[in-house]
Amino acid sequence: MNRTVYSIDGKELRNIELDDAVFGLPVNEDLIWYAINNELANKRLGTACTKDRGEVHGSNAKPYKQKGTGRARRGDKKSPILVGGGTVFGPKPRDFSYTIPKKAKRLALKSILSLKAQNDTLKVVEDFSIESGKTKDLAGIIKNFGAGERTVIILKDDDPKVKRAGANIPWLRFLSYNRLRAHDLFYGRRVIVLETAVKNLNTFYAAKKAPDADNGEAAL
């Protein structure tokens, strides 16, 4: 699959080859859903906590006698049906995170990349950096490819100056080619990939070749 490489001014420069093993796969919607929900679950803090009747502060004494008052029977003031009493089956701190197979996560990310390439929402842009670290310099580049929509930029490496320049843009997300996030990538209306990042993606996520029958290597 060939794609056009654009300059930071939005002009066409040259073509680049996108590996079909990364950008040309059939979209697996089930795996995408699986990967996104896994990321959301792993982000949950799980710190919600309530007190049951054994933890609520109060006396254990019987508030009034059992019979003769015409009122309901009360064992203590910490009953869940009383104001200030304990909570029944309330949340307790827990860990919501879980792991999914690495192959499933990789295939989900490749499915999203393929989906963006097929929908023509993926643009390849020449490598750039924001030496000044100013937001207006980065905003001027993004404006050439449309602005105001949720945008994801896939970087060739962890560029702190580019990330600093985009920190004040609420609809902009940065991802490194080797640390993609399914949620941000899938919900990005526009995906901008740096030219070197495309080459790195082709290498990092490409399907491994079958073993050569002559050398007897084991299949990976």
In a domain, 65, yes or no: no
Q: Convert the pLDDT of each residue in 33-71 to its tens digit.
A: 999 999 999 999 999 999 999 899 988 889 899 999 999
> Residues of the chain whose pLDDT is less than 70?
207-220
In this predicted structure, what is the pLDDT of residue 55?
92
Q: Convert the pLDDT of each residue in 165-190 to its tens digit.
A: 998 899 999 999 889 999 999 999 99
In a domain, 154, yes or no: yes
- Which residue range forms the structural domain that includes residue 200? 2-27+101-204
CATH number, position 23: 3.40.1370.10
Q: What is the mean pLDDT of the chain?
A: 88
CA distances, 146 to each of 3, 10, 155, 171 (Å): 18, 10, 18, 12
Do the beta carbons of residue 13 and residue 7 sit within 8 Å? yes
In a domain, 110, yes or no: yes
In a domain, 32, yes or no: no
Domain count, the chain: 1
In this predicted structure, what is the pLDDT of residue 215?
44
Other beta carbons within 10 angstroms of residue 166's beta carbon come to: 21
Question: Percentage helix, strand, coil, to 5, in the chain?
Answer: 30, 15, 55
**pTM: predicted TM-score of the whole model, two decimal places:** 0.80
